[in-house]
Amino acid sequence: MNELAQSPPLASAGDRPAAWIESAPQPGSPKALNMFSRLREDLECILERDPAARSRWEVMTCYPGLHALWMHRFAHACWRHGFLWLARFMSNISRFLTSIEIHPGATIGRRVFIDHGIGIVIGETAEVGDECTIYQGVTLGGTLLTRGAKRHPTLGRGVIVSAGAKVLGGFTVGDGARIGSNAVVLKEVPPGATAVGIPARILHKEVEAQREHAANQMGFSAYGLSTSGDDPLAKALHGLIDHVSAQQREIDRLVAALNRDGIALEDVKAAAPKVDAKQLNRLVDE
C-alpha cells in the first residue's frame, strides 16, 4: 500500500530505456502469452456483464472503457519504470480519446469492466480490485493534499460503483460492496454492504442471503441496485411511524377498558393527537 503512495524514481539517461525494452514481452514468451490471456479476459468479462454486447469484435472496437484500460496498462508500465512524463502524456491521450481519466499511477485489477465510461476519474493512489464494475461519471478521488500519501480509495474484489458516485478518501471499499448511483462515500464500506445517499449511508452490512438468480450467475448486479431499493433513512422513518401507530392503538384499547370500568378519560383522548400512519408513510415515500 505504501509503495503505491510513493512516486517512482525518474528514469536515468543511461541504460534504463534499453533494459526496459529488453524486458518487454517477446513473441511466444510466457509474458506475451499472459498478455493475450489478459486481453481475452477483458473481452469475456464485458460479454458476460453487458447484455448489449453482441460479439468480441464489437466489444474490441466500440467500448471506450476497454480502450481506456488497455492504454492505462501501457501508461502504468511507463510510470512504474520512471518514465513519468510519457506516462502522463499517454494518460492524457487516453482521456482525449475516451473521456475517461485514469492516472497512470493507479492500480487496476483483472476483469474490470468500465461501462459507458464518460466522465470517470480515477486518482493516482487509487486501487481497483479484480472483477470490479464502474459506471459513467464515477470519481475515485482524494480529500488530502499531502504529497506521497494514500489519498484515493481502494476497491476490493467485485465492487460495483454506480453511475455518478463519488468515492473520496484513502479508505477501503470491501469485497462485493455496492455503491448506489450519485452516492458520495466519505468513509469505509464493509464487505458486502450497499452505500447510498449523500453522504452515503450503509444499507446493509452483510451480503444478502438470497440474491437475484441472474446476479448470482453473472457475479454482479447492474448499477449496484439492492433487491429492495429502499433508502435506509426512509426505512427508519417507516419503522418509527409503524411503532407510533402501534402505540396509539394500545392507548386507545387502554382508554376503552378504563371507560368500561367507570373511569372516564374522554377529555384525555380528545386532546391526544391522532396518528395517520398511511398519510405519514405516503409523505416519506414521496
Q: What is the pLDDT of residues 159-202, one digit of tens each?
A: 999 999 999 999 999 999 999 999 999 999 999 888 988 888 88
Q: Give the per-residue pLDDT at 20.
A: 45
Q: Tell me the β-bridge partners of 128.
A: 108, 155
Region 117-133 average pLDDT: 92
Among the residue ranges 14-28, 80-94, 171-185, 221-235, the one predicted with the least confidence is 14-28
Region 99-110 average pLDDT: 94
Band of residue 220 on the pLDDT scale cut at 50, 70, 90: very low
Q: What does the alpha-carbon distance between residue 20 and residue 115 come to, in Å, rounded to a whole number?
A: 33
Region 102-121 average pLDDT: 92
**pLDDT beyond 50 at 213:** no
Among the residue ranges 23-27, 173-177, 257-261, the one predicted with the least confidence is 23-27
Q: What does the alpha-carbon distance between residue 106 and residue 139 come to, in Å, rounded to a whole number?
A: 13
Q: Give the per-residue pLDDT at 210.
A: 43
Residues 6+ apart with CB under 8 A from 33: none
**Mean pLDDT value across the chain:** 78
Which one has a higher pLDDT value, 257 or 191? Answer: 191
Q: Give the per-residue pLDDT at 171.
A: 92
CA torsion through residues 63, 68, 71, 74, sign: negative
pTM, to two decimals: 0.65
Q: Tell me the β-bridge partners of 173.
A: 155, 189
| Residue percentage of the chain with pLDDT more than 70 | 68
CB atoms within 10 A of CB 187: 11
Q: Give the per-residue pLDDT at 201.
A: 86
Q: Give the per-residue pLDDT at 212.
A: 43
Q: Give the per-residue pLDDT at 159.
A: 93
**Distances from the Cα of 173 to the Cαs of 128, 170, 226, 249, in angstroms?**
10, 10, 17, 44
**pLDDT beyond 60 at 145:** yes
Of the candidates 160, 232, 238, the residue with the CA atom closest to the CA atom of residue 199: 232
CB 243 within 8 A of CB 286: no
Under DSSP, the state recorded for 12 is P
